[in-house]
Amino acid sequence: MINYSYPLYRPPAEANNIILQVTHGCSYNHCSFCSMYKSKKFEIKALEEVYQEIDTLAQSYPQAKKVFLADGDALCLETSHLLEILKYLKKSFTKLSRVSVYATAQNLLEKSDSELALLKDNLLNLIYFGIETGNEVLLKKITKGVNAQQIIRSLQKATKAGMKTSTTVILGIGGVAYTKEHIKDTAVLINQTEVTYLSTLQLGLDEDAKRGFFKHFDDFNMLTDTQVLDEQRRFLELLEPKNKVIFRSNHASNALHLAGTFPKDKQRLINEVRQALEIGEAALVPEMFRGF
């Protein structure tokens, strides 16, 4: 019996993998647009409890190859604590090939290069990371707690350690007033990193998040779907990553779903957005089927 604490979130790509909760909540929990863990007090789960759950999971799924460590930023754990968990996982799941985790820039910057390399050697080899925006004004408005240079540096550290990075950008997060700066600066940021995966989400604010969000962003006006698609087009046009990047825009929040690989599919992706802009609403996922 696994004693999950809810709400429990995991990346869509981890739907068929083992979810092991090693913390509860998010150690930062201040991003103004995010209400995921507002109802949870941050806690580190005792190692004994984690080991017991690994034993239970290994009995049910002995062939499992991939494990996701929840909750919101489990990379905040001390490296020695994470290594204990990783070693126990390797011993319990003999076919284990990948352990992944949500991480913040703060988590990555707090670890030394050698600590990250050690974690990678023990199969912590995929980091899910919310970039959101590369614009300094917006990073302050959404109270992300880091600046663009820190985001770049943290992603470069993960890459240097040999970890793959799956990153997200939020279309519409600058509203009408900052749409140009948001897209330009975010593309500039990505172009200085070597992320493995890049996804664009579309901003949605639930009732719990709205008050905190508008407190720091009183000049915010939500973009229409057409304006969001125009952001998507401009973003794709400005992206010039140094490496091959797998691009997706297929989150539940997206009005238009896209998938391709940079640089090979860049022009096709741009054409698909242009075409959707010409067709209008009929080309988009109906709003009732979307969620952030």
**Footprint of ligand SF4 (CB under 6 A):** 26, 28-31, 34, 36-37, 72-73, 104, 130
CB 11, CB 128: distance < 8 Å: yes
Cβ 58 to ligand SF4 shortest distance, Å: 28
Residue with smaller CB distance to ligand SF4, 123 or 142: 142
Residue with smaller CB distance to ligand SF4, 36 or 139: 36
Residue with smaller CB distance to ligand SF4, 22 or 31: 31
Cβ 215 to ligand SF4 shortest distance, Å: 15
Range 34-52 burial, b when 16+ CB lie within 10 A, else e? bbbbeebebeebeeeebee
Residue with smaller CB distance to ligand SF4, 234 or 251: 251
The closest alpha carbon to 105, from 52, 165, 18, belongs to 165
Cβ 9 to ligand SF4 shortest distance, Å: 8
Residue with smaller CB distance to ligand SF4, 61 or 214: 214
Residue with smaller CB distance to ligand SF4, 29 or 227: 29
Cβ 222 to ligand SF4 shortest distance, Å: 19
Cβ 31 to ligand SF4 shortest distance, Å: 3
> What would the two tokens of residue 127 be?
């980091």
Cβ 213 to ligand SF4 shortest distance, Å: 12
Kindly write down the DSSP assignment for every residue of 143-205, as one continuous string: T-SS-HHHHHHHHHHHHHTT-EEEEEEEETTTTTTTHHHHHHHHHHHHHTS--SEEEEEE---
Question: C-alpha angle 35/20/50, rounded to 5°?
Answer: 115
Range 280-291 burial, b when 16+ CB lie within 10 A, else e? eeebbbeeeebe
Question: C-alpha angle 198/218/235, rounded to 5°?
Answer: 25
> What would the two tokens of residue 283 be?
């080309």
Q: How far apart are CA 283 and CA 292, in angstroms?
A: 19
Pairing of strands 197-202, 124-132: unpaired
